[in-house]
Amino acid sequence: MSFAVIIPAQETNKYHRLGDLAPFGDTTLLEWKISQCKEFMESSKIYISSDSKVIEGIARKEDVNFIKRKKQIPYGEIIINTLSGVSENIIIWTNPTAPFLGLKDYLSMMQKYENNNINSIVSVHTKFDYIYYNNQRLNFSDKFTSRNILKPVKIVTNGCYIVEKELALGGASLYSDNPFLFELDYLSAVEIKDLHTYEISLELISAYFKRDLGV
């Protein structure tokens, strides 16, 4: 079983004009994520997927692989375009927008994948909340129900996916029909998806170091 790490990256996006090159601590979101991945994976098995020349330069500087992809293509095509350039058979697809998904999380997910008969893992965070869908109650009745006995929902964090390469290529997707849903704690589950969550994440860096490094 051979693992490879894929980090898709953009030079600009909806949450910051610098995209995954937005400042984060004393580095950038992308370089922060590369550093995290180097803690559990050798550089030769880390791939940056992007259409950006600037990001290509960062990949070279960090001594990791770079996969040039086409501009403005659907996400399914990004997956196919990227994975076609990877020789390893198990893909760890992780995003710079999950800056607090750290070493312990990745190692736990890899161990879960290796030791169980599963073909994919999706990182999630469980929420016990009152949910409406299409203006209909999804997990509660018209009678008062304590939140802690509600049927929980699993929210995909978009932090990490582990999947067989051939399965992802065949479906042009990181999702299988029956993935293992790997539960993350609140901090690891934080996803930067707009300017507000980006600014909050900057304030949480010290909490990350305190939790993971004890400093």
Q: Are 67 and 49 in contact (CB under 8 A)?
A: yes
pTM tops 0.85: yes
pLDDT in tens, 16-33: 889 999 999 999 999 999
Mean pLDDT of 83-110: 95
Walk me through the domains of the chain, giving residue ranges and CATH numbers.
Answer: 3-122+156-213 (3.90.550.10)
Give the length of the chain.
215
CA 182, CA 143: separation in Å to the nearest integer?
32
**pLDDT tens figures, 100-124:** 999 999 999 999 999 988 999 999 9
Segment 41-62, tens digit of pLDDT: 999 999 999 999 999 999 999 9
The pLDDT of residue 197 is: 93
Contact predicate 15/193, CB 8 Å: yes
Sheet containing strand 153-164, edge to edge, reads 65-68, 46-50, 3-8, 90-94, 153-164, 120-127, 180-183
The CA-atom distances, in angstroms, between 108 and each of 51, 66, 173, 214 are 31, 26, 23, 19
